[in-house]
Amino acid sequence: MEDLAIFGGPPLLEKTLHVGGPNLGDREALFARFNEMLDRNWVTNNGPLVKEFEQRISEFIDVRHCVAMCNGTVALEIACRALDLEGEVILPSFTFVATAHALQWQGIQPVFCDVEPNTHCIDPGEVERHITPRTTGIIGVNVWGQTCQVETLQEIADRNHLQLLFDSAHAFGASHNGRMVGAFGRCEVFSFHATKFLNSFEGGAVVTNDDELAEKMRLMRNFGFSGMDEVIYIGTNGKMTEVCAAMGLTNLDSFDDFLETNLTNYHGYRDAFRSFPGVRLLEYDDGESCNYQYIVTEVGPEFGLTRDQLMTILHAENIRARRYFWPGCHRMEPYKSFFPHANLLLPTTESIAEKVLLYPTGISLRVDDVTTIGRLMRFLSRNADAISSRLGSVEKNEPEDG
């Protein structure tokens, strides 16, 4: 026990492991793309690399259009605007705050809905409860790369004349009933942020089979310009740069390698977490494609340490486990001031936000890192009572991030 870093021992890992350490493809290929770009003297504004990236994403998903953007948040904002959302839009509170901000930023009221306990995705039954005459849309979030109950949500949307879109920031490479994520609802939004399975440094995209919607979003991401001097919509600057597209294309070439690494890590964690009580690993559906980018657990009382105690111990060992999306959007500003009693309608969100802890994965892990983490977890589980009482004095240190 003296060796635990929280009690003064050296950290178990020399190199800090993060949730979201970037998956990096082949450097030479990336630099070659940079050189071509510089030789061309064309660095942004719908350049050839962006067009190639869009083409490859559309083909991969089998959708008619991919509109690449500077990040996932702006992609969400543009999608919501292009769909003419207004009034109220229903979304889960258990999501990254960008999903809610993309609405609030343009004066649309986010209405937070509870999620399903097993998948952490929006609960369609709860969606129905929140529909009012002011509701114009539903945003399903494909949390952790799993998929929502797409068909049920679509049926609810159709019956109530609502737009349905998906925030699929986590779900590039995932499938639903054998069909790639990206092909559902009116449109779907990806993030290619550095922490995502496929990253373009910063980046995002909206994918859709709707020609008119795609055209509108292309105009909106470029200030609304329809020609050299003609502006026909209010627009913004949502363009992806050529540097970002070069990174996205290079990483797309390594898709299979990233997937294999993530899958191996996931199996390693699954075996490790089965060897002691109190930590439930969220298991992915083997029958679907999945990117395995998130190692998601729920820490229960049988483990003997609280989720936050465990996180503090892991951080000291240079394992930067994260408690996404604690404490839930409804408990963040401005939403907690707008809706101070939202928690009453969100019991599952409240419960899982206190239990969820994510572990590092991706190509920055060495082969034996997962085994080392598993061994540490077993030790913590066996000695939980003693550690917990000794932690009492150390515990005053608040966990550093959420």
By CB under 6 A, name the binding residues for ligand T4K. Answer: 18, 20-22, 71-73, 95-96, 98-99, 141, 167, 169-170, 191, 193-195, 204, 324
Residue 74 or 183: which CB sits closer to ligand T4K? 74
Q: Which is nearer to ligand T4K, 191 or 208 (CB)?
A: 191
Nearer residue to ligand T4K within complex by CB, 21 or 110: 21
- Smaller CB distance to ligand T4K: residue 2 or 400? 400
Q: 266 vs 324, which CB is nearer to ligand T4K?
A: 324
As a whole number of angstroms, the distance between CA 278 and CA 373 comes to 16
C-beta of 131 vs 244, nearer to ligand T4K:
244
Burial bucket for residue 153 (CB in 10 Å: 0-12, 13-18, 19+): buried
CB 75 within 8 Å of CB 218: no
Q: How far is the CB of 93 from ligand T4K (least distance, A)?
A: 12
3-state secondary structure 249-271: HHHHHCHHHHHHHHHHHHHHHHH
**Tokens in use for 327?**
């404490």
In sequence order, which ranges of 324-394 are alpha helices (DSSP H)?
A: 335-338, 347-353, 369-382, 384-394
Question: In terms of CB distance, is 120 or 218 closer to ligand T4K?
Answer: 120
- Whichever of 220 and 391 has its CB closer to ligand T4K, that residue is 220
Nearer to ligand T4K, 27 or 161 (CB): 27
Pairwise CA distance, residues 34 & 352, whole Å: 43
Smallest distance, ligand T4K to C-beta of residue 300, A = 23
User: What's the min distance (Å) between Cβ of 221 and ligand T4K?
Assistant: 14
In whole angstroms, the minimum distance from the beta carbon of 69 to ligand T4K comes to 9
Find the shortest distance in angstroms from Cβ 190 to ligand T4K: 8
Q: Report angle CA 98, 113, 177 to the nearest 5 degrees.
A: 85
| SS3 at position 171 | coil
Comparing CB distances to ligand T4K, the nearer of 21 and 182 is: 21
Long-range CB pairs of 161-164 (<8 Å, 24+ gap) are: 162/131, 162/135, 162/136, 162/137, 162/138, 163/83, 163/84, 163/85, 163/136, 163/137, 163/138, 164/137, 164/138, 164/140
Six-digit token string for 177: 């009933």
Quickly count: other Cβ atoms within 10 Å of residue 222's Cβ: 18
Helix (H, G, I), strand (E, B) or coil at 341: coil
- In the complex, least distance from residue 204 CB atom to ligand T4K, rounded to whole angstroms: 5
Q: What are phi and psi of 5, to 5 degrees?
A: -65, -30
DSSP string across 224-252:
TBSSSS-B-S---B-PPPHHHHHHHHHHH
Q: How far is the CB of 325 from ligand T4K (least distance, A)?
A: 7
What's the rounded Cα separation, in Å, for the pair 20 and 24?
12
**Shortest distance in whole angstroms from residue 146 CB to ligand T4K:** 12
* Least Cβ distance, residue 5 to ligand T4K (angstroms): 18
To ligand T4K, the closest distance from the beta carbon of 386 in angstroms equals 30
